[in-house]
Amino acid sequence: MLKNIKYLLTTSDMKKMPDDNKDEIVICGKSNVGKSTLINKLGNNKKLAKTSSRPGKTRAISFFDVDDKFRLVDIPGYGYANVSKKQIIAFKKMIETFFKERRNLKKIILLLDIRRGLTEDDSMMINFFAYYDIPIIFIATKIDKANQSEIYKFEKEIKSKIKNAEIIKYSAISNVGLEKIKKLF
């Protein structure tokens, strides 16, 4: 169970990232899907990771120590972000380099907005992780904003495209699914 999560650093420079053998679990997803909010909920601290209602707020890679055992990693979201094309290219290069070169990476927690379904960007990331044989855990966010029909349609779509996909339904507002997510660690 998670007891102590603390912020370590934020950087876009691979040389400045932690250089040890601690396992890392990356929180990944489209812009504004709730990555930083999830880290704050896991750490029971609203100010642990910076959040914004504006897509593209996370512009570098942030590392958080968890119980001095492993790290959570918050990366910039993919898809829409209110930044220049030059910045989007820089994000893409930084993220690709991170996933290709980071040896500590053990698992991806992929957040998907239940209201949006599986997008082309989501599918591309899933294929990227599969190519590098990185295990993925799927978390459907914003379930409090979807009705039962939308939730059923989403689960059916994911399971038809990704065999044996386990999907945790999560709400940052009501904390539905939060305890199940905590048990992943």
Based on the structure, what is the number of domains in the chain?
1
Contacts of 125 (CB under 8 A, 6+ apart): 28, 78, 110
pLDDT at 92: 79
Q: Which amino acid is at 45?
A: N
Q: What are 39-93's pLDDT values in tens digits?
A: 999 999 888 887 765 555 567 899 999 999 999 999 988 875 566 777 767 777 8
Residue 174 domain flag: yes
CATH number at residue 36: 3.40.50.300
Residue 15 lies in a domain: no
List all residues 6 or more positions away from 130 whose beta carbon is below 8 Å from its beta carbon: 136
* Two tokens, residue 54: 């504006």
Q: Is residue 151 part of a domain?
A: yes
Complete edge-to-edge strand list for the sheet that includes strand 70-74: 5-11, 61-66, 70-74, 23-29, 105-113, 136-141, 167-169
> Is 145 among the domain residues?
yes
Say which DSSP state 77 is in: P
Is residue 152 situated within a structural domain? yes
pTM tops 0.85: yes
Structure token pair of residue 37: 């909010």
Does residue 69 form part of some domain?
Answer: yes
Q: What confidence tens digit (pLDDT) does each residue in 113-128 have?
A: 999 888 888 988 898 8
- How far apart, in whole angstroms, are the C-alpha atoms of residue 58 and residue 49? 9
Q: Are 40 and 48 within 8 A, CB to CB?
A: yes
Give the domain range for residue 84.
Answer: 5-10+23-182
Domain presence at residue 17 = no
